[in-house]
Structure 1
Amino acid sequence: MALRDRLPRHLFSPRGWGLLAAGAVCLLSAQIMGRRDLLSLSVLLIVLPLISLAGIRLLKPRFQVYREFNPSPVETSAAATVRLAVARTGSGGGRAIMEERLPPRFGESPAFHFPARSAKGGTSRYEYHLRSTKRGQYLIGPVTAEFTDPFGLSLHRRAIDEGDTLTVTPAAVELPVTGLAGARGNDGITATRTRANPSDDDVMTREYRPGDPMRRVHWAATAHHGALMVRQEESVTTPEATIILDQRFAAFSGGHGSGFGGNAAVDGHEMITSDTFEWAVVAAISICTHLAERNYALRLLDPRGEPAFLRSLSAPEPEAEEFSGVSGLQSIAESLAAIQLSGPHHAARDHGGQDAGPAVFDDHLMDKLSAHRMRGPLIAVLGRISPSEARALAPAAGYGANAFAIIVSDRPADAEDSLEALRRGGWRAVAVPVSVSVPDAWTHFDQGGAAPATAAADVRRGAGVGR
């Protein structure tokens, strides 16, 4: 290793270390030769780098950093463009070498010179690209700058901002059209006929249009509005879909790749998850996207009947459980970005052999479902559930126009008793391993009820999809 590589780089530049070395040589020569001029030169050579070092630490340049992500948030495996704008806000000049600190998963941290050659109005602008195959929230930055004095003798490195959070959402996969919509139709719109003789309290009216028969004129509404109003015989309502997203640690832990602790240690980004839970998250965003494109309003709950994103670190509104439109779908995607497994990491067992902890699939969930009874399909994306839990969930099928359940497990064959309990309650249920794609699992709910080819192949191999 060269001598220059052993010297601390955060104190002096090679030029500064050279002056210090020359000063030391002159000082030693002055002592040996008794030359006062060499002594004065040595003092100058030693003091000059020290003065520059003190000055660069006392007179700290101030900067303002603006960072923009496009798009924000970004989906997994999609490229995000990062635009940086750095401006000096304090006095002083000179150049600096800057570096944007990145989590290791994004590769080498980009470095750049300040000011940039194309700087305008005192602001330097830079641009680079990021891509992540894992969902989550990642700290991008801070920008660290290495300053030097006008003589290039000393160095000082420090962070000039605090960084910004990049949210990476799970990417939805396209699902095939199935008979999920039931009587409401695949377009997500249902026409509801009013009663033959509606009362004045519940009749719907609209303004008169040329060609409307006079027998449809609603005289009370006409008098109230001061304009001719007619009865509206047909109204359009927006159907609702309720999605139960299981996120219990005990339901998804175990098996190979049950956690990403290694990535957390490398990236400084801790998230408790597993391969099966990641499959469930992709299924959830894909189902929500599929339904939102068909004008469904969405409700997302957890197995306890609480808002599904109550514990998500990335949720814009953790207590929200109802979503609609493009903005609602975007909120769901952001909430799923950093959602993780919750509950005790080591499920305690009571004397009866059941998981101890808050009850799931109990009256609280049933009350939430009954409040929106028969307004649309009920979909449950579940991890491992015991037969007793399946029996508790089974009656919930009566609250939806249709009821569908997907159990994702490392060993789908073990879910046969749970599947049978759900089907007896009226659910259309399937158990799949992570090797089966979400679209293939979704096609199981088609009107024909046929299992997907991939699932059938797994059954033949013994990996099993419950049928």
Structure 2
Amino acid sequence: MTAAPETTSETVMTSRGWGLIGFGVMAGGVGVGLANPILVYAGVTMVSAVVVAGLWMLLSINTFLRRFPYARREVIPRPLTAGVPGKVIVSIQSGNAASAARSRLRRTLTNSLDIREQAASELTGGMGTKATVARTETSLTLTYTLLPSRRGRWPLGPALVHSSDPFGVLWADTSVGEAEHIPVWPPVVDLSAAAGALMGHADRVVIGARTPSADDASLRDYREGDDLRRVHWPSSARRGTMLVRSDERAGRRPATVIMDLPRDPVALEWSITAAASIALSVLDAGHPVRLLGAGLNPDASRHVGEHGAEAGRSAILNQTVDLKSPVSINAATAHLIHAANQAAHDATHGEVIVGVFEPLERDALDALVPLGDSGRAWAMVRTSDNVAQAETAQETMRSLRRAGWRTATASTNGDLENIWASMITAGDME
């Protein structure tokens, strides 16, 4: 945050101020009625004290804004991650050099003013912020810690400078700088120890003629606009459809993670954490990955990781920040069907599919069936203590297994690492 945006100031009269006005008016009225000049003077003095306090506040606020017009906020790290502490540094700086007299005025101002910043409870963990303030004659620097508790975008700022008059009649909070929305990534679990096993397991899967030949492992279907020089004619003739060489190099089998988001808030965050953890672990194992489903923009759902794991991590996590619960079961089913169709349409041959699913409707299951034909499809199916939902989850697992998927059940209070390991070895235990 830099700049000098339009500032606002909230000025509040204290009970002392209201008392001075009330007693002043009453004393003045009684003095006039009794022809007592002393009471009149006393009343005028009390009311005048409030007027002088108001002029003092107006002068001090205007002087402050004129002397310290610039504010800058730094959030470290940015974006934040739910459950991981972050730090905020807010600097309010002087606009230009000053004479000795003005320097003394600035020093007086910085020493007499308090500064704090507004932050959403989702950024502070529901607790107040304990800030330290460093003061010089040219700046005020506020430093405090955040403990974000929820994924999303949450408001932070503006900084508020608190000032009051010497009589304690008025106080004011003046905004400095701008408010902004800080992105918070979901918490993730490190699953990389088993991610390599998943990708290696995919290489060993052989299901008759459904597994492409070695020549086909780095090929994909031709798309309009592809360079014809990339067409692999021998494989195209063998499979009866035009194939082009994929951008993926051998040994870097890509993966797609499909999300099916629930409407329950707790389950929603669990599903997002699970999907993000899987994607990042595959990425850390050296394989390109993408997220599909949950209403994500299809144009942005491309494999990431070709330009480095760190850039890929940011791209994956940034996609999760604004995810919301579906408005209805029908909407969730529509998102999942669209994701399954997209994965089937433009998946690279040999691609691994991992799904994080709710108990599914028949239409969604039908859309997922073709993805199991390769033998490289795994799924976590979330279940719960609800008997009906648990039975639907079991039926979902049976349907997916019949289609060639390897599946494991998951619950929001289960250990994600154990669920992940169970899912990877599901086919070996059946």
TM-score, normalising length from structure 2? 0.70
Structure 1 residue 27: Cα displacement: 2.5
* C-alpha distance 181-150 of structure 1, shift in aligned 2 (>3 A): same
Partner of 1:10: 12
Partner of 2:6: none
Tell me, yes or no, if the aligned pair for 1:101 and 1:109 is still in contact at 8 Å.
Answer: no
Letter aligned with residue 346 of structure 2: A
1:371 counterpart = 2:346: yes
Aligned residue pairs: how many?
Answer: 356
TM-score, normalising length from structure 1? 0.65
Partner of 1:70: 76
Please list every run of 5 or more consecutive structure 2 residues that lacks an aligned counterpart in the other structure.
Answer: 1-9, 97-101, 205-213, 217-228, 231-248
Among candidates 273, 296, 311, match of residue 309 of structure 1: 296
Please list every run of 5 or more consecutive structure 1 residues that lacks an aligned counterpart in the other structure.
Answer: 1-7, 187-191, 195-200, 203-234, 259-273, 312-317, 348-354, 452-466
* C-alpha distance 279-52 of structure 1, shift in aligned 2 (>3 A): same
- The separation in 2 between residues aligned to 1:365 and 1:387, in whole angstroms, is 13
The root-mean-square deviation of aligned C-alpha atoms, in Å, is 3.7
- The separation in 1 between residues aligned to 2:167 and 2:95, in whole angstroms, is 22
Partner of 1:240: 254
Structure 1 residue 409: Cα displacement: 2.7
Partner of 2:136: 120
Deviations 1:67-124 (A, max 9, x none): 22112222221111111212355997533233322334524544779xx5x4235111
- The separation in 1 between residues aligned to 2:26 and 2:198, in whole angstroms, is 86
* C-alpha distance 367-446 of structure 1, shift in aligned 2 (>3 A): closer
* C-alpha distance 373-32 of structure 1, shift in aligned 2 (>3 A): closer
SS of the residue 2:316 aligns to: helix
Partner of 1:382: 357
1:445 counterpart = 2:423: yes
Deviations 1:37-66 (A, max 9, x none): 553453233124224325634863424332
Q: Which has the higher helix share?
A: 2
Structure 1 residue 295: Cα displacement: 0.8
- The separation in 2 between residues aligned to 1:18 and 1:370, in whole angstroms, is 76
1:80 counterpart = 2:81: no
- The separation in 1 between residues aligned to 2:338 and 2:14, in whole angstroms, is 69
- The separation in 2 between residues aligned to 1:135 and 1:363, in whole angstroms, is 25
- Percent identity among equivalent residues? 18
Structure 1 residue 290: Cα displacement: 1.1
Partner of 1:137: 153
Partner of 1:293: 284
Partner of 1:431: 409
Letter aligned with residue 299 of structure 1: R
Structure 1 residue 241: Cα displacement: 0.4
Partner of 2:377: 403
Structure 1 residue 367: Cα displacement: 5.1
Among candidates 92, 99, 104, match of residue 116 of structure 2: 99
Deviations 1:314-372 (A, max 9, x none): xxxx8343221211211211322331112x34x5xxxxxxx489845658843543422
Tell me, yes or no, if the aligned pair for 2:199 and 2:253 is still in contact at 8 Å.
Answer: no
Partner of 2:312: 328
Tell me, yes or no, if the aligned pair for 2:89 and 2:143 is still in contact at 8 Å.
Answer: yes
Letter aligned with residue 85 of structure 2: A
Among candidates 368, 376, 392, match of residue 414 of structure 1: 392
- The separation in 2 between residues aligned to 1:35 and 1:21, in whole angstroms, is 18
Tell me, yes or no, if the aligned pair for 2:14 and 2:169 is still in contact at 8 Å.
Answer: yes
SS of the residue 1:322 aligns to: coil
* C-alpha distance 379-87 of structure 1, shift in aligned 2 (>3 A): same
Structure 1 residue 160: Cα displacement: 2.5
- The separation in 2 between residues aligned to 1:23 and 1:374, in whole angstroms, is 87
Letter aligned with residue 40 of structure 2: L
Tell me, yes or no, if the aligned pair for 2:154 and 2:182 is still in contact at 8 Å.
Answer: yes
Letter aligned with residue 53 of structure 2: S
Partner of 2:31: 30
Structure 1 residue 9: Cα displacement: 8.3
Partner of 2:198: 180
Letter aligned with residue 304 of structure 2: F
* C-alpha distance 35-183 of structure 1, shift in aligned 2 (>3 A): closer
Tell me, yes or no, if the aligned pair for 2:183 and 2:321 is still in contact at 8 Å.
Answer: yes
Tell me, yes or no, if the aligned pair for 1:299 and 1:321 is still in contact at 8 Å.
Answer: yes
Structure 1 residue 415: Cα displacement: 2.2
For residues 36-55 of structure 1, the aligned pairs below 5 Å read: 36=37, 38-54=39-55
Tell me, yes or no, if the aligned pair for 1:245 and 1:381 is still in contact at 8 Å.
Answer: yes
Tell me, yes or no, if the aligned pair for 1:66 and 1:84 is still in contact at 8 Å.
Answer: yes
